[in-house]
Chains A and B, each alone.
Chain A
Amino acid sequence: MRAGLRHAVMCVLVVLMIYPLIWMLVSSFKPSNLVLSEPGLIPSEVTFDNYRDGWNALDEPFSLFFLNSLFVSVGSIVGNLFSCSLAAYALARLEFRGRRLYFAITLVSVMLPLHVLVVPQYIFFSQLGMVNTYFPLLLPKFLATDAFFTFLMVQFIRTIPRELDAAAWVDGAGPFRIFWSVILPLMTPALVTSAIFTFIWTWNDFFTPLIYLTSTEMFTVPVALNSMMSSETSSGVGALFAMSLLSLLPVLVFFVTAQKYLIRGISTTGLK
């Protein structure tokens, strides 16, 4: 009975939460000019035009933008997991002068708004001739500039008892070995979380790709979607919805599969 009630409440909550998405889904099957003038949930006309038109909206099949976004997102994940875990381990576990300073700088770099850093960064990359490439989008990820994840991993590592390090040290392991064999496996939830968030944030990132990617075939999904919703006219709402929903799918799939690793958690043997 208790379980049934809980399920009922959850279902209501879920419906409330995703109602806008349901509306968007239904609207994507309405002809574009009816989407906003007939905002009900039951469409008077159903059409697949929005998906068809939206797919080729920018003269390229939308799959191109998916692939571009995928490349950037996966690259960013690799970069972040690599550089942030290394940095986090050093900041959380190793004793050295300047540890607190680096940690503070890490946090400070999260605090400055992007729009102010953009101009000097752009000048740097354009001097290198790297505009209209993916380099400005990926390089920062390999250099642990996403301090959010460094901080996240630091917090997770700090929940791992130091006795484990000590035990490995006793067995003759150096810092890298300890990092590799002891810490890294135990921070899997943090790694998976970072991967999920990196994927989603880079998938949805708009401003930086807008500035660095000038030719249409380099566009990532958000830049392409933004062009579909013009600020002057509002034509193409149906196509915008259709493509927005489609672009949700890879992220959702990634999220659902990555969840499994979150579920596994820590096996009890790790702590003994």
Chain B
Amino acid sequence: MTQQTLVRPAAASPQPPRPRRRPPSFRRQGGAAHVFLLPFLLGLVLITAVPLLASLYLSFTDYDLLHDPELVGLDNFRRMAEDERFWASVGVTLRYVLVSVPLQLAFALLLAVVLDKGMRGLALYRSAFYLPSLLGSSVAIAILWRQLFGHEGLINAVLGWFGIEGESWLQNPDTALSTLVVLNVWTFGSPMIIFLAGLRQIPEELYEAARVDGAGRLRQFSSVTMPLLTPIIFFNLVLQTIGAFQAFTQAHIISGGQGGPLDSTLFYTLYLYQQGFQSFNMGYASAMAWVLLVVIAVVTAGHFLLSKYWVFYGDER
């Protein structure tokens, strides 16, 4: 494959001498590994595992936070199946994930590639594109977004120049979710930075070798950049998907915690939060959380399985 021929030359010369020590045995590396993992294991037990298991237990209970939890078996899950608003929130979240994640990543990748070339004022552009992410979860966003998409917002003002009279995009159940998609895309700074870091790690010699071989810009991109970037693309894809499934803050801020209008921005975790913190149905909320976890785990496992076909790691033996 062309990819391997491009990578091998730099690393394979000269041939390393035969190692004088034997490769480490499993047990040996296990010991070292657990020293490295000590903080992680402590954190796992104290901060993660116990609350994780507690919430699993709670999902089989009726717990209103004010009294002790009461076991109710599968009641919460049965309720979920019949709960209209639950299914509404599933629909909203799925639509959000399927639309905003690819859009955001495409933007981020595009701009990372453009900004990676030597351009004057590079640092300025990078910072400018990152600024929105800094503000993305701020309380002020609600006002800013109303300023853009509200009844008397900028978008409607611009539409007014063309004689189109607009209504508030935020108050229309058919368009409210789209404003949140735009918000997610607007805050593409984080994946962009990660793409930039990944681009930075691609050694210059590979591009030189490709140029020597006569490859043009586009060919360099497809043969050098993309393959070596795939682990990073994969990372961004997995984590942005997980993040989109869990999207909460922005919907909470913009809809005032309501998920409106008419539940059109009722994200799954927003509904979960309402059930747990407003209706005091913490058992039901925990059950919802575990359903979400299973779904995300399945989707992520899917990502990992598919990754064999398109992700290329430099440390493959």
Contact = CB atoms under 8 A, between A and B. Distances in A.
Direct chain A–B contact by Cβ atoms under 8 Å: yes
Interface of A: 3, 6-7, 10, 13-14, 17-21, 23-24, 36, 39, 82-83, 86-87, 89-91, 94-97, 99, 102, 105-113, 115-117, 119-121, 124, 139-140, 142-145, 148, 150-152, 155-163, 166-167, 169-170, 172, 174-176, 179, 189-190, 192-193, 196-197, 200, 204, 206, 222, 225-226, 228-229, 231, 237, 240-241, 244, 248, 251-252, 255-256, 259, 262-263, 265-266, 268, 271-272
B204 interface: yes
Nearest to A82: B39
A72 to B, nearest CB: 16
B292 A200 contact: no
Nearest to B257: A231
A111 B297 contact: yes
A120 B40 contact: no
A166 B58 CA distance: 48
B134 interface: yes
B256 interface: yes
B231 A112 contact: no
Interface of B: 10-11, 16-17, 19-21, 24, 26, 29-30, 32-34, 36-40, 42-44, 46-48, 50-52, 54-55, 58, 65, 114, 119-121, 123, 125-140, 142-145, 147-148, 152-154, 186, 190, 193-194, 196-198, 200-201, 203-205, 228, 231-232, 234-235, 238-239, 242, 245-246, 248-249, 256, 269, 272-273, 276-277, 282, 285-286, 289-290, 292-293, 296-297, 300, 313-315, 317
A75 B180 CA distance: 32
A18 B131 contact: yes
A162 B235 CA distance: 20
Given A143-B40, A155-B232, A39 B147 contact: yes
Given A21-B135, A166-B19, A120 B144 contact: no
A121 B143 CA distance: 33
11 contacts: A20-B147, A87-B40, A90-B36, A96-B26, A113-B246, A124-B51, A140-B47, A160-B315, A163-B11, A229-B139, A268-B204
B246 to A, nearest CB: 6
B302 to A, nearest CB: 13
B interface SS class: helix
Given A161-B314, A175-B29, A193 B193 contact: yes
Contact of B37 (A87, A95, A268): A87
B140 A108 contact: no
Contacts of A226: 139
Contacts of B273: 115
B296 A225 contact: no
A161 to B, nearest CB: 5
B52 A112 contact: yes
B127 A259 contact: yes
A193 B194 contact: yes
Q: Across chains A and B, which 6 residue pairs bring their CB atoms closest together, nearest first?
A: A143-B43, A90-B36, A120-B51, A96-B30, A116-B289, A120-B54
B37 A90 contact: yes
A108 B293 contact: yes
Contact of A18 (B132, B143, B234): B132
Given A170-B19, A241-B140, A244-B140, A112 B201 contact: no
Contacts of A36: 143
Given A117-B55, A155-B232, A6 B119 contact: yes
B16 A145 contact: no
A256 B123 contact: yes
Contacts of B127: 252, 255-256, 259
Given A115-B269, A160-B314, A190 B197 contact: yes
Contacts of B154: 19
Contact of B132 (A17, A83, A266): A17
Contacts of B153: 39
Nearest to B117: A6
A161 B228 CA distance: 12
Given A13-B129, A20-B147, 5 more contacts: A17-B128, A90-B32, A90-B37, A142-B43, A175-B36
Nearest to B287: A116
Contacts of A151: 235, 238-239
B131 A252 contact: yes
A167 B242 contact: no
A139 to B, nearest CB: 7
A147 B98 CA distance: 24
Contact of B139 (A144, A225, A262): A225
A176 B242 CA distance: 32
A266 B51 contact: no
B197 A145 contact: no
The CB with the most chain B CB atoms within 10 A, among A6, A113, A200, A237, is that of: A113
Contacts of A262: 193, 196-197, 200
A205 to B, nearest CB: 9
Contacts of B114: 6, 10
A17 B43 contact: no
B33 A96 contact: yes
A157 B148 CA distance: 42
A10 B34 CA distance: 48
Contact of B131 (A21, A120, A158, A190): A21
B132 A252 contact: no
